[in-house]
Amino acid sequence: FEAPYPPYDPQDKSSFAYETVVKRWPVIITNLIDHVHRLIHDLTMESRTLANSGSTDPAIQSKIEEGKEIIAKASHLKYRMARDQELEKIPEDGEFYVHEYNSELDKLAQVGKNTWFTAPWLYAECYLYRLFRSYFKQSTWWADFDPFYAKKEETFRSSVTAIHQIATTMHELETEKDKVVDDPDKLSVLFKEMVQMCLWGNATDLSLLTHLTPSDIEHLQTVGREAQQARKEFILKDDQDAVWEHIKSLKPQAGTVARCDFVLDNAGFELFTDLVFADFLVTHTPYFSEVVFHPKLFPWFVSDVTPTDFYKTIELLSSPTFFNATMETTPESAHHLKEMVERWRRYLEQGIFRLSTAVEDGHKKAQFWTGPWPYWYMEDKANSLWRFLTESGLVIFKGDLNYRKLTGDVKWPVTVPFATALGPLAGSFPLLSLRTNKADVVVGISQDVADKLDEKEKGWRVSGK
Ligand code: F6P
Ligand code: MG
């Protein structure tokens, strides 16, 4: 498939692609270096303490050495990026898609677009996280290390208020269950509440924290009804009614009940909202009997969910000490949270909730999410995944990067219908994209709306608002 428009790249200085290469990636690389540096410092202290007591641990020494190599590689990358040098080959690190990334790179070299300021933004950004992966994967002691984990956990901790609030809402729903389940109107209202909660959960994105203040984030996470009403005007493309009509058509027939797939985006609060939405779909509607969650197999775009993050989230939500109490959290809300997370644990045990890595051939399917390609290549590049998704009742793609990959991150005019922007993926399976705008590509809205926003809301394509 050839899109009729070129991909976004940083050559246009007014694009978010340009701002990303100039400002955001250097910060992300610097943070990674600082983090590894601090850990090396701690290891050095540990090794000195050991030496003082007359012993040594060769493992610590070798971990320090490897950590220094990782820092050297990351510094080298930062230097090359700032000088618009070529993207280097991904080394043979034993991780998947070495050849695929490198052959795409060869193609870019042939047209002179293989440097940091000329490569298509989507390719370059996926490449960046694949390259980070190679730094760690090539070592012995850091092979499974997630340089973004600490930040993900810290941010998750600070969402405690919103988490308790949602848990109480879900508890109330549970007690009203019988009244709701047979009343399609009530269910439809609740469904929309859930969609919006899950949508705005995507506003929390650590890779954007470089310009979002903590109070902005807290504000975004306030999930009361009033706030949702007020945010309606911020929704540029709203297909909630069409989705609900589709879901109702999935009415269980003769023992077959539909599956919902979540192509996950960020860990922490966003994942929590995904789990709540999934819980709603299986617990409170008659339309779905199982949910499969699709994580990334290695650390990706700073905040994305890995399988470790997924299980850790359930564990932290169950921990009596992880979250600090606030003015808004009460013993009742803590109980509501416990009740809900216990249900999720049961669903996981029973296979009602599953990670895609736990389905047959799961890793092979999951690797596609950390590839560099638009999703219109899914049928070709990841046929078993594509076939698996064609059996789904609804595939929910979370977040901005998924939207960029769905639309190929090319310069579509805003009026192009979403289905057109999907290219050959359109019609493969029913899909819903829940995205807050954090990149230039936007489709499916009227020219008039875009013109007004260009005039009044300068950063509307990327502000996440
Ligand atoms: O940095 C590029 C980018 O794709 C932005 O578009 C977005 O800010 C972020 O990375 C990913 O956002 P999300 O977590 O919503 O996919
Ligand atoms: Mg993300």
- For 403-419, give one letter per residue: b (16+ CB within 10 A) or e: bbbbbbbbbbebebebe
Q: What integer best gives the mean pLDDT of the chain?
A: 92
| pLDDT, tens only, 415-455 | 999 999 999 999 999 999 999 999 999 999 999 999 999 99
Question: In this predicted structure, what is the pLDDT of residue 219?
Answer: 52
The CA distances from residue 289 to 169, 229, 347, 392, in Å, are 22, 30, 10, 11
What tens digit of pLDDT does each residue of 136-195 get? 999 999 999 999 999 999 999 988 988 998 898 888 877 777 776 777 777 888 888 889
Mean pLDDT calculated for residue range 337-355: 97
In the predicted structure, residue 348 carries a pLDDT above the cut 80:
yes
What ligand 1 atom has the least distance to the C-alpha of 202? Answer: 15
pLDDT confidence band for 228 (50 / 70 / 90):
low
| Cβ–Cβ < 8 Å for 264, 295 | yes
How far is residue 407's CA from residue 418's CA, in Å, rounded to a whole number?
8
CA of 124 to the centre of ligand 2 (A): 15
Predicted confidence at residue 308, as pLDDT, reads 98
pLDDT of 42-53, one tens digit each? Answer: 999 999 999 999
Q: How far is CA 66 from CA 109, 138, 149, 157, 280, in A?
A: 31, 9, 19, 30, 46
CA 157 – ligand 1 centroid, Å: 21
Mean pLDDT of 53-58: 92
Residue nearest to atom 3 of ligand 1 (CA): 401
Least confident of 213-217, 224-228, 289-293: 213-217
Contacts of 168-176 spanning 24+ positions with Cβ under 8 A: 168/332, 168/333, 168/336, 169/223, 170/276, 170/279, 170/280, 170/336, 170/340, 171/336, 171/339, 171/340, 173/280, 173/284, 174/283, 174/339
The answer to which of 19-28, 179-188, 229-238, 300-309 has the lowest mean pLDDT is 179-188
Residue 332 C-alpha to ligand 1 middle, in angstroms?
Answer: 36
Ligand number nearest CA of 299 is 2
**pLDDT value, residue 207:** 42
- Do 244 and 191 meet the contact criterion of CB atoms below 8 Å apart? yes
165's tokens: 């609030």
The Cα 354–Cα 187 span in angstroms is 24
SS (H, E, C) the chain: CCCCCCECCCCCCCCHHHHHHHHHHHHHHHHHHHHHHHHHHHHHHHHHHHHHCCCCCHHHHHHHHHHHHHHHHHHHHHHHHHCCCECCCCCCCCCCCHHHHHHHHHHHHHCCCCECCCCCHHHHHHHHHHHHHHHHHCCCCCCCCCCCHHHHHHHHHCCHHHHHHHHHHHHHHHHCHHHHHCCHHHHHHHHHHHHHHHHHHCCCCHHHCCCCCHHHHHHHHCCCHHHHHHHHHHCCCCCHHHHHHHHHCCCCECCECEEEEEECCECCHHHHHHHHHHHHHHHCCCCEEEEEEECCCCCCCCCECCHHHHHHHHHHHHCCCCCCCCCCCCHHHHHHHHHHHHHHHHHHHHCCEEEHHHCCCHHHHHHHHHCCCCHHHHHHHCHHHHHHHHCCCEEEEEHHHHHHHHHCCECCCCCCCHHHHCHHHCCCCCEEEECCCCCCCCCCCCHHHHHHHHHHCCCCCCCCC
Domains located in the chain, CATH noted? 16-143 (1.20.930.60), 150-456 (3.40.50.10880)
- Site to probe by mutation for ligand 1, drawn from 18, 31, 205, 405 as the one with most ligand atoms within 8 Å of Cβ, is 205
Q: Which atom of ligand 1 is nearest to the CA of 266?
A: 14
Give pLDDT, residue 201.
86
Q: What is the pLDDT of residue 149?
A: 98
Note the pLDDT of residue 204.
Answer: 59
Q: Best mutation site among 207, 208, 397, 437 for ligand 1, i.e. most ligand atoms within 8 A of its Cβ? A: 207
Distance 330 CA to ligand 1 centre (A): 34
- 258-263 vs 431-434, strand pairing mode: unpaired
Q: Tell me which ligand sits closest to the C-alpha of residue 19.
A: 1
Q: What pLDDT score does 19 carry?
A: 97
Q: Structure pTM?
A: 0.94
- On the 0-12 / 13-18 / 19+ scale of CB atoms within 10 A, 198 is buried
> Span 354-364, mean pLDDT?
94
pLDDT at residue 226, rounded to an integer: 61
Question: Hey, which residues does 434 pair with through a beta bridge?
Answer: 398
Residue nearest to atom 7 of ligand 1 (CA): 438
178 against 341, higher pLDDT: 341
Question: Average of pLDDT values for 299-303?
Answer: 97
Q: How confident is the model at residue 210 (pLDDT cuts 50, 70, 90)?
A: very low
Residue 216 has pLDDT above 50, yes or no: no
- Bigger pLDDT: 9 vs 320: 9
